[in-house]
């Protein structure tokens, strides 16, 4: 029987699989084949974005798989240049078209882009998309607590999810605590630090003691923290490996050893500086 990921209940009652596949920097044709492979291995969540230029490939996989659309959690994201009342709905519709679906499970504002001062009105449009039923949940990505506070102060919907950079060298304790206090689920992007933490000696020793790979230990750490997590690979064997994390558990002491690896090792830009 296929093993499936546990789910986390979002603040509107929708269930989101804790472990999914990310497809940033994956060519459109490769996206189709790797998503088909992932679905055959038990993945039920796929994370794409307009800017990844592979929504069509993901859509072809959704069309060709034997897995029912209703069993797959599809996330896509609004790109920065599409923020604003006049452009958000058209960008959303174009994503649905490329994906070949009539709804997504989660629609995210990709970056706050605070200097443009558009994310609050953009969020209001996301609320309208949600109300139309074409997104089962709405959320944000790369929002700092100060940006989330602006939504709260405007009396708007609390995002279901905030997708942020998070891995052993950037553990985001303050942001995760803010999310927990406000009922927002944290999704970890670049959960493996884009592969840069896989040689770490502490993680290697923990992995050896469980006869698991370092990637599996890191993914398991995210799951036990309560994150949703979307590791990426275009190598089928690694995609399979990254899903084999539901048959072991990290001890409290191992979780504490990993907590000590936090070192402000950000890979991407700080959201306040990301003005692209």
Which residue minimizes CB distance to ligand NAD? Answer: 22
In angstroms, give the least distance from the CB of 72 to ligand NAD. Answer: 15
In the complex with ligand NAD, the residue whose CB is nearer, 132 or 269, is 269
In the complex with ligand NAD, the residue whose CB is nearer, 50 or 136, is 50
In angstroms, give the least distance from the CB of 23 to ligand NAD. Answer: 5
Give a three-class secondary structure readout of the chain.
CCCCCCEEECCCCCEEECECEECCCCCHHHHHHHHHHHHHCCCCEEECCHHHCCHHHHHHHHHHCCCCHHHCEEEEEECHHHCCCCCHHHHHHHHHHHHCCCCECEEEECCCCHHHCCHHHHHHHHHHHHHCCCECCEEEECCCHHHHHHHHHCCCCCCCEEEEECECCECCHHHHHHHHHHCCEEEEECCCHHHCCCCCHHHHHHHHHHCCCHHHHHHHHHHHHCCEECCCCCCHHHHHHHHCCCCCCCCHHHHHHHHCCCCCCCCCCCCCCCCC
As annotated, the active-site residues are 52
In the complex with ligand NAD, the residue whose CB is nearer, 125 or 203, is 203
Task: Confirm if 120 and 148 have CB atoms less than 8 A apart.
Answer: no
Q: Would you tell me which residues interact with ligand NAD (CB under 6 A)?
A: 22-24, 47, 110, 141-142, 163, 189-195, 198, 213, 215, 230-233, 238, 241-242, 268
Provide the residue count of the chain.
276
In angstroms, give the least distance from the CB of 41 to ligand NAD. Answer: 13
Phi/psi of residue 196, each to 5°? -80, -15
In angstroms, give the least distance from the CB of 95 to ligand NAD. Answer: 14
């Amino acid at each position: 029987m296929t093993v499936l990921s546990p789910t986390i209940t979002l603040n509107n009652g929708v269930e989101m699989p804790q472990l999914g596949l990310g497809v940033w920097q994956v060519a459109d044709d490769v996206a189709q084949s790797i998503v088909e492979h992932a679905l055959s291995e038990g993945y039920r969540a796929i994370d794409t974005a307009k800017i990844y230029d592979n929504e069509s490939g993901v859509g072809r996989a959704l069309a060709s798989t034997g897995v029912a659309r209703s069993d797959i959690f599809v996330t896509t994201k609004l790109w920065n240049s599409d923020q604003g009342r006049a452009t958000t709905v058209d960008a959303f519709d174009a994503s649905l078209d490329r994906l070949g679906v009539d709804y997504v499970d989660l629609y995210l504002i990709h970056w706050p882009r605070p200097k443009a001062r558009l994310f609050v009105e953009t969020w209001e449009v996301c609320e309208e998309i949600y109300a139309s039923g074409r997104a089962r949940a709405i959320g944000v990505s790369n929002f700092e607590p100060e940006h989330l506070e602006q939504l709260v102060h405007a009396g708007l919907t609390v995002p279901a999810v905030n997708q942020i950079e998070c891995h052993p060298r950037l553990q985001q304790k303050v942001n995760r605590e803010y999310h927990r206090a406000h009922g927002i689920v944290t999704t970890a992007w670049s959960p493996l630090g884009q592969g840069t933490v896989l040689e770490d000696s502490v993680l290697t020793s923990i992995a050896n003691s469980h006869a698991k790979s370092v990637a599996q230990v890191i993914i398991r750490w995210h799951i036990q923290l309560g994150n949703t997590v979307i590791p990426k690979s275009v190598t089928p064997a690694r995609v399979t490996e990254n899903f084999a994390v539901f048959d072991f558990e990290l001890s409290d002491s191992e979780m504490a050893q990993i907590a000590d690896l936090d070192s402000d090792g950000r890979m991407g830009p700080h959201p306040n500086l990301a003005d692209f």
